[in-house]
Amino acid sequence: MPHMIRVAVVDDHPLVREGIIHAVGATGDDITVVGEGATAAEAVELVRTLAPDVLLLDLSIPGLGLAALGEMARMQFPTRVIVLTASEDSGDVM
Confidence bin at 65 (pLDDT 50/70/90): confident
51: left (phi over 0), alpha (psi -120 to 50) or beta: left
Flag whether 92 is in a domain.
no
Domain total for the chain? Answer: 1
Flag whether 66 is in a domain.
yes
Flag whether 2 is in a domain.
no
CATH for 64: 3.40.50.2300
Domain extent, residue 61, equals: 7-78
User: With contact defined as beta carbons under 8 Å apart, do 44 and 73 qualify?
Assistant: no
Flag whether 1 is in a domain.
no
Flag whether 74 is in a domain.
yes
Is the pLDDT at 1 greater than 70? The verdict is no
The residue ranking higher by pLDDT, 61 or 14, is 14
Flag whether 86 is in a domain.
no
Confidence bin at 91 (pLDDT 50/70/90): low
pTM of the model: 0.87
Flag whether 73 is in a domain.
yes
